[in-house]
Each structure stands twice: as structure tokens, then as C-alpha cells.
């Protein structure tokens, strides 16, 4: 990657995150100071949020570690604006499919950044419209039919995305046999989930499976079961 761009995008990413974090903690702090509603002690915060913090702090850490390699430099804006699995990750996968690029390349990284930034702006605008029109929208959006449809958002996305994930195309190569890598982790997750439900612990499962996948891929690659076949340059690029 061009060093100047790389330095710039990571610098902007970090500065944006630090400002974002300052706002996230600053807003409750200002409100608590002005209206004198500070929690009485750290102990009170821990008592109130104990279960929540125990569950979500490790999950949030695991998610950032797991998804950042897929998201590339778009991880900064992705995690700042949130909704990773149901919005930003599908956007990245879709943009890679459209342009024939993959993550881990300059092209894939930059295309991902474009798609996540455009998606973030759209979401921000739609939430603003939702806030402005909340009175007329409430009866429509809280109807049982809409509630049912929206509760199946993830499977609605994932069914189509699985096909993109399993595409043997890897940028300038076709990786024949690469899908064999996920068979063992897939069976393991299936079995473990039957015994010990993994819902809400997906971040940890991703982290563990990632290590296992890399190990299996290494073995299959070394044994020449995964074969790399070069292909023409990605479509959409003027060469």
C-alpha cells in the first residue's frame, strides 16, 4: 500500500476514534456534571452493569480483533458507527464481490473503506429522518408484520453472503479446494452449539475458529490440497 495513504488513513482513523470516544464518555460526563446525576460510585456502576459489562467487554474486544482483518482500514469507521454484522460487514463483502477484489490488498481495502463510509452516512441520515418523523412512523414501524420481518434481518443477509464467502476466487487467484478448510470448524461449532449454546458468544467462537481455520488451511496448502491458480486482473479496473 502507498505509504502516504496508509499513514493518512490510519491517522485519520485513530484521530476520529479518539474524538468519538471523547464524545461517548464526554456526553454522560457533561450531563452528569450539569444536572448533578453522577453515579454515586464506581461500585454503583459495577453493581448496576455487572452482568452487562462481564458479558459485553470481552465480546467487544473479541469482535474488534476478529473482524478488523476482514474490514481492513475501514474498521475505524465501522466500529465507530457500529452495527457491524447486520450492516457494515455485508457492505464490505458486497463491495468486494462487485469489484472482484479481496481484503488484504490495496484495492480491497480502499473499496471497503468507500462502502462503509457511504453506508455510515446513509444510516446517519435515515436515523435523522426517523427522529424527525417518529410520530407518524411509530405505528407503521412497530406493527407486528414489520417487527417479524426485521427480527430476521441477519438470516436474510447471511444466506446470500455465504455464497460470496465460499467463492473460490481470491483476487488474482482461484483457490481450488479452499472451502475444505471450514468443514471441521463448522462441524465443531454445530456440535458445541447443541451442547452449549453459543448465542451471544459469537465473537469468541470467531476468534477460536479463526486460529483453527488458519492451521487447517496451512496443512491443506502444504499438502497441495488447496491449489492456487492465477487468473486475469480484477474486473472494473482500467489497466
Question: How far is 158 from 137, CA to CA, in rounded Å?
Answer: 28
Size of the site for other proteins (CB under 8 A): 163
Element at 17 (helix H, strand E)? helix 3-35
193 binds other proteins (CB under 8 A): yes
Segment 95-114, which members bind other proteins (CB under 8 A)? 95, 98-99, 102-107, 109-111, 113-114
Q: How far is the CB of 232 from other proteins (least distance, A)?
A: 14
158 binds other proteins (CB under 8 A): yes
Assign residue 232 a region: left if phi > 0, alpha if psi is -120 to 50, beta otherwise?
Answer: beta
127 binds other proteins (CB under 8 A): yes
User: Nine-digit cell at 45?
Assistant: 456502576
Residue 139, classed as helix, strand or coil, is helix
| DSSP state, residue 233 | P
Segment 28-87, which members bind other proteins (CB under 8 A)? 28, 30-32, 34-35, 37-40, 44-45, 47-53, 56-57, 60-61, 63-66, 68-77, 79-87
User: Nine-digit cell at 40?
Assistant: 454515586
Q: How far is the CB of 203 from other proteins (least distance, A)?
A: 9
195 binds other proteins (CB under 8 A): no
Give the residue from 213, 218, 190 showing the smallest Cα distance to 66.
213
Segment 199-228, which members bind other proteins (CB under 8 A)? 199, 202, 205-206, 209-210, 213-214, 217-218, 221, 226, 228
231 binds other proteins (CB under 8 A): no
Question: How far is 172 from 179, CA to CA, in rounded Å?
Answer: 17
Amino acid at each position: 500500500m502507498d505509504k502516504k495513504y496508509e499513514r493518512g488513513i490510519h491517522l485519520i482513523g485513530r484521530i476520529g476514534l479518539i474524538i468519538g470516544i471523547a464524545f461517548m464518555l464526554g456526553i454522560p460526563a457533561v450531563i452528569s456534571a450539569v444536572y448533578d446525576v453522577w453515579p454515586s460510585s464506581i461500585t454503583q456502576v459495577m453493581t448496576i452493569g455487572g452482568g452487562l459489562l462481564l458479558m459485553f467487554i470481552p465480546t467487544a474486544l473479541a469482535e474488534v480483533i476478529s473482524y478488523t482483518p476482514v474490514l481492513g482500514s475501514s474498521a475505524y469507521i465501522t466500529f465507530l458507527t457500529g452495527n457491524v454484522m447486520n450492516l457494515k460487514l455485508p457492505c464490505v463483502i458486497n463491495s468486494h464481490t462487485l469489484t472482484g477484489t479481496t481484503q488484504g490488498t490495496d484495492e480491497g481495502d480502499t473499496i471497503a473503506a468507500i462502502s462503509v463510509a457511504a453506508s455510515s452516512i446513509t444510516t446517519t441520515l435515515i436515523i435523522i429522518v426517523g427522529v424527525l418523523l417518529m410520530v407518524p412512523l411509530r405505528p407503521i414501524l412497530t406493527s407486528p408484520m414489520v417487527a417479524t420481518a426485521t427480527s430476521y434481518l441477519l438470516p436474510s443477509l447471511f444466506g446470500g453472503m455465504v455464497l460470496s464467502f465460499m467463492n473460490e476466487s481470491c483476487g488474482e487467484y482461484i483457490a481450488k479446494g479452499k472451502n475444505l478448510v471450514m468443514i471441521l470448524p463448522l462441524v465443531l461449532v454445530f456440535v458445541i452449539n447443541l451442547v452449549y449454546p453459543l448465542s451471544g458468544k459469537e465473537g469468541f467462537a470467531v476468534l477460536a475458529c479463526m486460529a483453527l481455520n488458519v492451521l487447517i488451511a496451512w496443512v491443506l496448502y502444504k499438502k497441495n490440497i488447496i491449489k492456487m491458480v492465477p487468473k486475469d486482473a480484477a474486473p472494473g479496473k482500467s489497466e
